[in-house]
Structure 1
Amino acid sequence: MIQITNLHFAYGKRRVLYDGLTLRLSPGSIYGLLGPNGAGKSTLFRLMAGLLFPKQGAIQVAGHDPAKRRPAFLQDIFLLPEEVYTPAMRIREYVTLNAPFYPRFDYRQFAGYLAEFGLTEDERLNEISYGQKKKVLIGFGLATNTAVLLMDEPTNGLDIPSKAQFRRLVAGAADENRIVVISTHQVRDLETLIDPVIILTEGHQVIQAPMEVISERLWFGLVPRLEDVQGTIFYSERAIGGYAVVARPDAVRLRQAMSRVDLEWLFNAVQAHPDYMHTLFSDTKTLTHA
């Protein structure tokens, strides 16, 4: 479990990112962490991994205080950063050097991931493309079988077929004992994979809710005219045949069948109406920043 309580963090005096953040993440889920640029997604990962330290508040990750950087904690968490830098060595050498730090690392599992991505252990990390380097580290992170897996923009640099492979492999590696958190701007790459969703806003609030609850409380669909929607429209954009809309379910005059949650529309709706969205999902363990 990851428990963040009353977290305060800032870069200097002016750039406050977290001012009382509280979150609780449980094993068995693949969480999606969304937010605008500068909202602190990567910073939150570094705080969870013990690479940054909160000014106030508490963080517990798998029963450990990350700031203490104890070996038992480090061997049970893996952070894949957005920007990856790899040494000039063969993939086999990289695994030989780093895998012993993770007691549950599965060499056969990693070999399967390499084969899935069309790579071999003989290839040199400094001679393959950026997307291929990302694939190697994605496979390595999955094969560590750590209790906590944090992935920051993992689909950046991947082509379309590789993104489908990524979704399939992550879904297969998740289990009831593991917490997977994926930070992304590429919401359409991952909307069939992540659940629950955590959305950070520029107004220092956080929305956390399962996809099922979101689909019950918001309507995502197409209407011929905006006049067909009564009440507040949280987000709309022109689309072929009319308008794409996010609204309350009871606000739509023409009761078309409800569509699945569109994470991009949801993200825009939350950024436009953070206070209302926070209230709407306040009973789903959603807490404001102080």
Structure 2
Amino acid sequence: MSTPTARGSRAENAPAIQTRGLTKRFGRTTAVKDLSLEVRPGEVFGFLGPNGAGKSTKIRMLLGFIRPSSGTARVFSDDARDVRRAHRHLAYVPADVALWPALTGAEILELLARVGPGSDTTYRDELVDRFELELGKRGKAYSTGNRQKVALVAAFSTRAPLLVLDEPTSGLDPLMEREFRRCVAEARDRGQTVFLSSHQLAEVEAVCDRVAILRAGHLAEVASIPELRRLRRTDVEVSFDGVAPDVSGLPGIHDVELLDGTGMRFSLTGPPGPALRVLAASDVTAFQMREPSLEEIFLDYYGDAVR
């Protein structure tokens, strides 16, 4: 969960996360292969991939819980293998939160606040109310969702320059997911970096500045949400009077389908200019373009294996 924070000049000037050729092998299985990426200070960075893609392995190496087979991982210039130094810069929320069973929620939050000198107790109390967290219960009595809330309140109330969140909303209901998104935005506004590992695509699409897509241990793409969308198709549907516009054969046009003689549907990749010029010369009565969701982009990368 939350750990102490230190914001020195090195932390402020260096990338929040930097990996170079990061590789982890378990016997003959390569969980992460030659992973190189850089997360800028102050951004919300999404790390996407289905179960088995290597997300958790990468995070465990970043946190120094396991050693890479080769390559390096750094947290604000500190080698991730030096856990004492690297953890001064970050707060961590695991996918499966374990709490001290005999301590109450209030005692757990107080303990974590004392471990990290950067904790904002006023903001922490506000988050307790917003997440509707019952502090009088002991850790062993908390549900999965409430354990997650304790970890999130502890992490967001620190002033650690880096928040590492691994599937942080898996036990939350939709209202609490909305609060989580607010907290991410507030962390960004304070200049904190958020590294969010998730398979909930709507969540990533809503809060992230950039996204990395991990496929079978390999980095498939790193881009902003708009950049990812531009890499993929746009679905176009038009209605017309008279002769159907002839867009077949134009660059970037795919899957042309006529609809009852008065409509047309097709997919467009790349610049829309050629298609728009043909449509403008026809008697088009209605025109609709739909950008793909992040989920559709994600499925394009993984194909039928994810479906």
Q: Does 1:51 align with 2:82?
A: no
Q: Give 1:286's aligned residue.
A: none
Q: Give 1:288's aligned residue.
A: none
How far has the Cα of 1:44 moved from its partner? 0.9
Deviations 1:214-246 (A, max 9, x none): 23343343658xx988677999xxxxx998968
Q: Kindly tell me: are residues 244 and 148 of structure 1, through their superposed partners in 2, closer, same or farther at Cα, counting changes over 3 Å?
A: farther
Contact 2:90/2:161 (8 A) holds in 1: yes
TM-score by length of 1: 0.80
Deviations 1:162-214 (A, max 9, x none): 11111111111224642211111111233111120110112723310012322
Among residues 254, 265, 268, which one is paired with 2:296 in the alignment? 265
Letter in 2 for 1:7: L
Q: Kindly tell me: are residues 199 and 112 of structure 1, through their superposed partners in 2, closer, same or farther at Cα, counting changes over 3 Å?
A: same
Give the Cα separation in 1 of the matches to 2:54 and 2:63: 14
SS in 2 for 1:150: strand
Q: Give 2:172's aligned residue.
A: 158
Q: Does 1:200 align with 2:231?
A: no
Letter in 1 for 2:81: A
* Aligned residue-pair number: 265
Contact 2:33/2:217 (8 A) holds in 1: no
Identify which range, 201-210 or 138-147, moves more after superposition: 201-210
Q: Give 1:238's aligned residue.
A: none
Q: Give 2:86's aligned residue.
A: 73
Deviations 1:18-45 (A, max 9, x none): 2221111111111111112211101111
SS in 1 for 2:206: coil
TM-score by length of 2: 0.76
SS in 2 for 1:67: coil
Q: Does 1:3 align with 2:56?
A: no
Contact 2:237/2:264 (8 A) holds in 1: yes
Q: Kindly tell me: are residues 228 and 97 of structure 1, through their superposed partners in 2, closer, same or farther at Cα, counting changes over 3 Å?
A: farther
Letter in 1 for 2:50: P
Q: Give 2:115's aligned residue.
A: 101
Among residues 64, 82, 85, which one is paired with 2:98 in the alignment? 85
Contact 2:162/2:192 (8 A) holds in 1: yes
Q: How does 1:114-153 map to 2 (within 5 A)?
A: 114-153=128-167
Q: Specify the structure having the higher radius of gyration (Cα).
A: 2
SS in 2 for 1:27: coil
Letter in 2 for 1:9: K
Among residues 199, 209, 219, which one is paired with 1:185 in the alignment? 199
How far has the Cα of 1:258 moved from its partner? 4.7
Give the Cα separation in 2 of the matches to 1:123 and 1:63: 40
Q: Does 1:20 align with 2:20?
A: no
Give the Cα separation in 2 of the matches to 1:128 and 1:269: 39
Q: Kindly tell me: are residues 9 and 252 of structure 1, through their superposed partners in 2, closer, same or farther at Cα, counting changes over 3 Å?
A: farther
SS in 1 for 2:218: coil
Give the Cα separation in 2 of the matches to 1:234 and 1:19: 34
Contact 1:47/1:53 (8 A) holds in 2: yes
Give the Cα separation in 2 of the matches to 1:246 and 1:38: 32
Give the Cα separation in 2 of the matches to 1:228 and 1:131: 51
RMSD after superposition: 3.1
Give the Cα separation in 1 of the matches to 2:64 and 2:265: 45
**Can you give the 5+ residue segments of structure 2 that lack an aligned partner in the other structure?**
1-14, 239-245, 256-262, 280-286
Give the Cα separation in 2 of the matches to 1:234 and 1:92: 58
Give the Cα separation in 2 of the matches to 1:50 and 1:234: 47
